[in-house]
Amino acid sequence: MVPKGVLVDITKCVGCGSCTVACKLWNNLKYDGTPADGKDAALGAESWTAVKWVEAPKDGETVWRFVKNQCLHCHQPACASACFSKAIKKTADGPVVYDEKLCVGCRYCMLACPFNIPKYEWDKSFPRVRKCQMCAGRIAKGETPACVGVCPAGALTFGEYNELAGLAAERIQKGGYINHIYGEKEAGGASWLYISDVPFKDLGFRTDVTTRPLPEYSESILKLTPAVGLGWGAVLTGIYVYNRRRNEIAREEGEKNKK
Amino acid sequence: MKNRWSFKITPVRVVLMGLGALGLALMAYRLAFGLGSSTNLSDQWPWGMWIGFDVLTGVALAGGGYSTCLLVQVLGIKKFTPIARSAMLTSLIGYLLVMGGLFMDIGRWFNFWRPFVSWGYHSVLFEVFWCVSLYTTIQLLEFGEIATEKVMKPWHGLVKKVLPVLFIIGIVLPTLHQSSLGSLYVIEVGKLYPLWWSMLLPVFFLMSSFFVGPAMVTVESALAGRAHGHRPDYSVLQSLIKVSGYLMLVYLGLKIYDLYSRGVMDLVFRGNLEGNMFLLEMAAGVIIPLIICFTPGWRSTRAGVLSFSVLVVAGVIINRMNVVFTGMSGYMGGSYFPSWIEWGVSLGLLAIGVLGYLFVVENFNILPHGNKAEESINAPSGERGYRLSPSGKAY
Amino acid sequence: MEDHLKLEKEVTRRSFLKMMGGLGLSGLALTLAGCENNTAVNAGGDGWLPQQYQIAGTWPAQVRGRVPIEASNPSIVRDDQKCVLCGQCLEICRNTQTVYGHYGFPLINDIVCINCGQCSLWCPTGAIAERDDTEKVLQALQDPDKYVVVQTAPATRVALGEEFGLPPGSWVMGQQVAALRRLGFKQVFDTNFTADLTIMEEATELIKRVKGELKKPLPQFTSCSPGWVKFCEYFYPDLFPNMSSCKSPQQMMGALVKTYFAKTKNIDPEKIYSVAIMPCTAKKFEAQRPEMNDSGHYWKKQSLQDVDAVLTTRELARLLKRKGIDLNSLPEESYDPLLGKSTGGAIIFGATGGVMEAAVRTAYFFITQQEPPAQLLSLTPVRGLSGVKEAAVDIPGVGTVRVAICHGMGNGRQVLEAVRRGEAPWHFVEFMSCPGGCQSGGGQPRTSVPPSDEVRQKRMASLYSADVRMEWRESHENSEVLALYQNFLGHPMSELAEELLHTDYVDRGKSFKQLASEELPDKV
């Protein structure tokens, strides 16, 4: 499987919100009042993608930009690494998918995600974690994610990840963009890439995300576990045996002295 | 023995039972109707009081069990033997409550067993989950030594034989998960305020859980002493605290080194919420206790020992709260305050824990010089101590 | 687990369509055509289904997205829950109105929309609708301190009946007046009155241009379609000098109600709440334009806006139904005096070419001081639904006057490009934003999807036959208009007329990146 990805060209988005509707239709999401576009657009348990209207400074004037938000599908997802029951996995195709059957509902994934993507069905008795699945089923069949398929403005491009990165660089080289492919390095890289003509910081993107894959942080510690456990156990056993032996000797000597 | 089991009913215990019953009812409500209808958790604050306090702080405060076990059973420091059993018992009850709190907090509780089968071994939580559940099992087996003195006596010999193994595993496991609780927040890089986020978080969590152990044992001995009408042996507690003191010196040094090496020292004195809370945590929870500890005239007094212990316990609570709430609030935004149901469940769990402790102490040989005749006189006032105790939360 | 607890699923129109689509073509045919093995492409008869649902297998097969609609758009709103992403709005907006896709990227600071509301007629699920202002109007009607007056556009009287079961084109002018009285409007005025007034002003302006008294270029563009005005502001701001400075009839009426009428009847203009019933969603935008407050200037009260609320024909029908008023059972009543009389020239404003025809009648009279010949009263070349219509009229004294008419902004572009190139032989050009003119405006009752020429023709025929029935056919014959000039304005394009009845335009060309003509989509 060649990893797939999506390139979001912010300069081409008109803010029609087709992608948000397609997402709801394809994933059977409800309308729960969370605005899917406009100023207050937000992700939610029933809103896996949202197009936020942002006013950003550019060349001394304020320009309107529309920012499609959804899971970035990191190459090394913090959420999947945080999941202790393997309910979240990165597939070979690229999507980071969630399996509710395995989910315990601890919400560590929500805490781990550097982009605050996963949402929770707080109102349900047995809530699920909810986030964009990148239409993994459609991708497996060779189709585009639903949102990409309906974009009338050509703001979304679906394709093989490596080619997309090249396409992004190509567009940047042609001019009219800032020299930053968001998602290329952030959190160690993601299947969704963004290019823009205004700095991502002004669009509400988190630009202080580490470029090191987040799982590496905890895994660098976790890998010490067996060594620490066994080593510490050995040390303790050693001390314990030593102390017991010493006590025995002391007792024997005491008995000897008594005699 | 004419009466095999005894449990005195006093007004305070009735109140505790009431709290416990309310807690159980609220737990049933939460399990049936979900987290949204019972807690103030949100997408912005996915973790709240139950994880932050009942679990993270609870595990730390229950650290008295393994630290005492290390001192007594492995290092063989015999003078601490008198407190070993009670420290172990509070730890066991603490862990049972932690498991209870955890069970309340997981959204799909019918799936609680999944990680035993579906191994997300790359998750810190996986390690915590396995260690905590194994350690609780180990503690139950360790308690078997005490239990078989009274029930199922034929098993006593066997339990005694495997005890050394249990002790060693019972120290290794908490070492791993106490530190892992800190590692949980390592992945919050960039989200957790830099005063707390550090690659050394697991070390800090481990050390603080260790040095809070003696403090916790002291507090609880003092309370149990009042409840059961015997004077705890302060000379033992004094030496115990000294162990804490030395470790805290290392802790303080490491903290300062950590802040310097990451270049975030200036954040401490910035005067913002995070800076001030950090100062509070370090001053009240580490520096003042250290002064008490290493001023010989102070440590030798009962008041000195008690205030040291209370401060250290409070310091660790503040530290865990800072990591879970203060340090995350800047990034998370929004606000979170536990709902009354969250409070009710936490208090209920606590009440059940205290009742369990009292029951076990009354029926098994836990405290040194246990004297039941005196207890009946002193119990009411003593239990008031439990009720008002600000730090008695974890067990 | 939760899902098992909630077996019943809400059946929405959309989920129903989806379910039907899931059955595939044959399944659909079997279901809807009563077990007939009908393999016709349009399975299920004449009803419309979004095409993508008729394709078995994966979904969405042919969804095409939709136009952007800003949340604060004063004219139209969209309900995401009804949208099926069929792309019909894109079809009309991009290919007929040439708005979507005709601006460059990246955007600057506007979601380009000319507020024409045609998308609301093309939308098969009713997801796009007019912004509902009925509540605002009801509140005003219930407010005892407010003196609520209303005006009705030429085109609503041939369409409102459709909402009450009458065939397209049914003439319900009198019933509409009666219905508005039943709703509690104190005065029911006729926008046709100001249509006549517009002709007086616009014909005068045209003659001044032709004679060189007014240093503005030819051809002169009509300015009564607010969608067209905004289109010009967006895409052809360089042609502002060609644009007639006349306000639209709605805004002329708005200005006069709070000045002339208020003065004559001695009513506090601040208490007047002025409502307009329009076939048009862009009129909602027009009424909100900040410069449309000339009555405020007149009285030196900045808070006055000339028109306070605009209801589309659809909203009026909704309001009447809500109040239990059955249009069919009402008697025919007449408009209130002072601003209520009109001529045949005004009535045909509702059809494409109508403004031009009315203007030619009056211009002929203004120039020759004689009644126009009979063929000018039935100027067939300017009638009908051809996209761009041209006519040449001989007027003694000035020679041949060439006129052009276009409706739908895609057709408009052709004329505008010719003007830009300096290849425009015309003296006067009528632009109407909506295909077919006002009678097929974005606020009119929904008919077929997409709107059919059949309905358009019926409504137009009704307007033209009403014109023939009228006592006066030419705007300058309107006695109330003449009285208005005599008692208040003085003469066409007098200083007061300029203040109240004329306007200027806002350059919106910088709110997005203009495309060069070779960058425009193919269809232009």
Q: Under an 8 A CB cutoff, do B108 and A104 touch?
A: yes
> Averaged over B125-139, what is the pLDDT?
91
> Averaged over B354-383, what is the pLDDT?
62
**What tens digit of pLDDT does each residue of A76-85 get?**
999 999 999 9
Q: Give the contacts of B258 (CB within 8 A, at least 6 positions apart).
A: B198, B200, B204
Is C283 catalytic? The answer is yes
pLDDT score for A139: 87
> Averaged over B340-367, what is the pLDDT?
90
Residues A139 and A22 in one domain: yes
Residues A132 and A249 in one domain: no
Distance CA C269, CA B243 (A): 88
Residues A244 and A183 in one domain: no
pLDDT score for C18: 57
* Chain A neighbors of C60, CB-CB under 8 A: 22, 25-26, 146, 149-150
Residues A238 and A165 in one domain: no
Q: How many CB pairs under 8 A join A and C?
A: 91
Phi, psi of C480 (to 5 degrees): -70, -35
The letter for the amino acid at B89 is: L
Residue B199, both tokens: 């690659």
Residues A160 and A229 in one domain: no
- In 3-state terms, chain C is what percent helix, strand and coil (to 5)? 45, 10, 45
Given a contact cutoff of 8 angstroms between Cβ atoms, the answer to whether B62 and B90 are in contact is: yes
Catalytic residue among C162, C163, C201, C205: C205
Is C224 catalytic? The answer is yes
Which residue bears the tokens 């606000």? B335
Chain C residues contacting A via beta carbons under 8 Å: 1-2, 14, 18, 58-60, 63-71, 80-81, 83-85, 87, 90, 100, 105-111
Residues A89 and A183 in one domain: yes
Name the pLDDT band for C9 (thresholds 50, 70, 90). low
Q: Which fold has domain B16-394?
A: Formate dehydrogenase/DMSO reductase fold (1.20.1630)
Distance CA C20, CA A194 (A): 37
pLDDT score for C278: 97
Given a contact cutoff of 8 angstroms between Cβ atoms, the answer to whether A214 and A76 are in contact is: yes
Residues A118 and A38 in one domain: yes
Mutate to test the interface with A, among C51, C78, C79, C85 (most CBs of A within 10 A): C85
The letter for the amino acid at C4 is: H
- The residue of chain A with its CA nearest to that of B113 is A104
B232 vs B66 pLDDT, higher one: B66
Given a contact cutoff of 8 angstroms between Cβ atoms, the answer to whether A89 and A99 are in contact is: yes
The letter for the amino acid at C341 is: K
pLDDT score for C60: 44
Residues A58 and A133 in one domain: yes
Tell me the nearest-neighbour CA distance from C119 into chain A, angstroms.
13
- The residue of chain A with its CA nearest to that of B198 is A217
Q: Under an 8 A CB cutoff, do A151 and C108 touch?
A: no
Name the pLDDT band for C10 (thresholds 50, 70, 90). low
A11 touches chain B (CB under 8 A): no
> Of the ranges A223-232, B234-243, C215-224, C403-412, which one carries the lowest mean pLDDT score?
B234-243
pLDDT score for A149: 86
Residue C357, both tokens: 């025809």
Distance CA C54, CA C335 (A): 50
Q: What are the CA-CA distances from residue C112 to residues A80, B61, C100, C130, C232 (Å)?
A: 42, 62, 7, 17, 12
**What tens digit of pLDDT does each residue of A185-228 get?**
999 999 999 999 999 999 999 999 999 999 999 989 988 888 98
* Chain A neighbors of B124, CB-CB under 8 A: 82, 218, 221-222
Q: Under an 8 A CB cutoff, do A63 and C107 touch?
A: yes
Distance CA C177, CA C36 (A): 49
Assess whether pLDDT exceeds 80 at residue B226. Answer: no
CA C46 to chain centre: 29
Given a contact cutoff of 8 angstroms between Cβ atoms, the answer to whether B76 and A243 are in contact is: yes
Q: Mean pLDDT per segment of 10 residues, for chain A of length 259 residues?
A: 92 94 88 90 94 93 95 95 93 92 93 94 93 89 86 93 94 94 94 96 93 91 90 91 87 80
Radius of gyration of chain A (CA): 26
- In 3-state terms, chain B is what percent helix, strand and coil (to 5)? 80, 0, 20
Assess whether pLDDT exceeds 50 at residue B1. Answer: no
Distance CA A222, CA C245 (A): 76
Catalytic residue among C244, C433, C440, C475: C244
Q: Which residues pair with C147 in a beta bridge?
A: C272
Q: Under an 8 A CB cutoff, do C106 and A143 touch?
A: no
Mutate to test the interface with B, among A111, A219, A239 (most CBs of B within 10 A): A111
Given a contact cutoff of 8 angstroms between Cβ atoms, the answer to whether C243 and C249 are in contact is: no
**Which chains lie within 8 Å of chain C at 3 or more CB pairs, if any?**
A
Long-range contacts of C3-11 (CB under 8 A, 24+ apart): none
Residues A246 and A180 in one domain: no
Full DSSP string of B300-336: TSHHHHHHHHHHHHHHHHHHHHIIIIIHHHHHH-S--
**What tens digit of pLDDT does each residue of C254-290 get?**
999 999 999 999 999 999 999 999 999 999 999 999 9
Q: Under an 8 A CB cutoff, do A61 and C18 touch?
A: no
In chain B, where are the structural domains located?
A: 16-394
Phi, psi of B82 (to 5 degrees): -55, -30
In chain C, where are the structural domains located?
A: 11-54, 134-341+440-469+479-501
Q: Under an 8 A CB cutoff, do B187 and A125 touch?
A: no
Given a contact cutoff of 8 angstroms between Cβ atoms, the answer to whether C335 and C188 are in contact is: yes
Q: Give the contacts of B246 (CB within 8 A, at least 6 positions apart).
A: none
pLDDT score for C28: 42
Cross-chain CB nearest to A14 (options C2, C58, C107):
C107
- Does residue A137 fall inside a structural domain? yes
- The residue of chain C with its CA nearest to that of A21 is C80
Distance CA C242, CA C418 (A): 13
* Chain C neighbors of A37, CB-CB under 8 A: 71
Is C286 catalytic? The answer is yes
The second-level CATH assignment, the architecture, of C134-341+440-469+479-501 is 3-Layer(aba) Sandwich (3.40)
Name the pLDDT band for B236 (thresholds 50, 70, 90). confident
pLDDT score for C16: 57
The mean pLDDT value of chain C amounts to 87
The mean pLDDT value of chain B amounts to 86
Residues A78 and A137 in one domain: yes
Name the pLDDT band for B369 (thresholds 50, 70, 90). low
Q: Under an 8 A CB cutoff, do C66 and A18 touch?
A: yes
B365 vs C145 pLDDT, higher one: C145
pLDDT score for C24: 45
Distance CA B232, CA B367 (A): 9
Tell me the nearest-neighbour CA distance from A144 into chain C, angstroms.
10
- In 3-state terms, chain A is what percent helix, strand and coil (to 5)? 35, 20, 45
Q: What percent of chain B has pLDDT over 70?
A: 91
Q: Give the contacts of B183 (CB within 8 A, at least 6 positions apart).
A: A218, A221, A222, B124, B127, B201, B202, B205
Kindly give the pairing relationship between strand C272-278 and strand C309-312: parallel
Distance CA A37, CA C451 (A): 29
- Would you call A79 exposed, middle or buried from its count of C-beta atoms within 10 A (0-12, 13-18, 19+)? buried
Assess whether pLDDT exceeds 70 at residue C252. Answer: yes
Assess whether pLDDT exceeds 80 at residue C392. Answer: yes
Distance CA B268, CA B260 (A): 11
pLDDT score for C351: 94
Is C477 catalytic? The answer is no
Q: Under an 8 A CB cutoff, do A86 and B118 touch?
A: yes
> With the C-alpha atoms ordered C317, C445, C64, A13, is the resulting torsion angle positive or negative?
negative
Distance CA C430, CA B368 (A): 105
Phi, psi of B239 (to 5 degrees): -65, -35
* Chain A neighbors of B46, CB-CB under 8 A: 107, 110-111, 120
Distance CA A119, CA C250 (A): 50
Is C454 catalytic? The answer is no
Q: Scan residues 117-136 of A and list those with Cβ closer than 8 Å to B.
A: 119-128
SS3 string, C135-167, reads: HHHHHHHHCCCCEEEEEECCCHHHCHHHHHCCC
Residues A160 and A242 in one domain: no
- The residue of chain B with its CA nearest to that of A221 is B183
pLDDT score for C30: 42
Please tell me the pTM assigned to this model.
0.87
CATH code, domain with A133: 3.30.70.20
**What tens digit of pLDDT does each residue of C484-499 get?**
999 999 999 999 999 9
**Which chains lie within 8 Å of chain A at 3 or more CB pairs, if any?**
B, C
- Does residue A219 fall inside a structural domain? no
Range of the domain at A114: 4-214
Assess whether pLDDT exceeds 80 at residue C415. Answer: yes
Q: Give the contacts of B67 (CB within 8 A, at least 6 positions apart).
A: B209, B210, B211, B213, B214, B243
pLDDT score for B256: 95
Residues A175 and A254 in one domain: no
Name the pLDDT band for B159 (thresholds 50, 70, 90). confident
